[in-house]
Amino acid sequence: MNIDKKLTSREIEELKTFLLSEKTPVNCMSFEELDGFLTCIVLAPELLMPGEWLSAVWGAGKDDEVIWDSEADMRRIFDFIFRLYQSIAESLEEKNKHFSPTLPSSSDGLIALENWCRGFYQGIELDPQSWESLLTTRQGYKLLLPIF
């Protein structure tokens, strides 16, 4: 796994297709939700390990299992997810760089933005206590209000 390599547009399309496929649970995140969710995980006040958040990508229920065609298929999808995480982390760490979520530039942009915000909110729900101090300040509330 080479997490320093950004996802290509073909790999993004492959991940989008997989997340919406019949191989994933009904409650699986869309790509836009995943992007918002991982952005939240990167920005979280407390570090969350992948074991704490990865199952949320597929859904929260006990019956929410992913169907893998092979171990190589599973590794490829996990590689895409961790590379997306790393790419988000790097773009947020760069000074004077404007952060933009990975959203389609099409007529469904508003729906994609809603999905991105839903994903970010799901990230907050994983550890709401660590976000509490930010959510209870006026400045923090103003920053996060557009997401809610």
CB 91 within 8 Å of CB 99: yes
C-alpha 130 chain-centroid distance: 18
Domains in the chain, please, with CATH?
Answer: 9-147 (1.20.120)
Among residues 1, 2, 11, the alpha carbon closest in space to that of 102 is found at 11
CB 30 within 8 Å of CB 116: no
- The pTM of this model reads 0.86
C-alpha 145 chain-centroid distance: 19
Instruction: Tell me the pLDDT of the chain (148 aa) as tens digits.
Output: 566 688 999 999 999 999 999 999 999 999 999 999 999 999 998 999 999 999 999 986 666 689 999 999 999 999 999 999 999 998 888 765 667 777 665 656 566 788 888 999 999 999 989 888 777 777 766 776 666 6
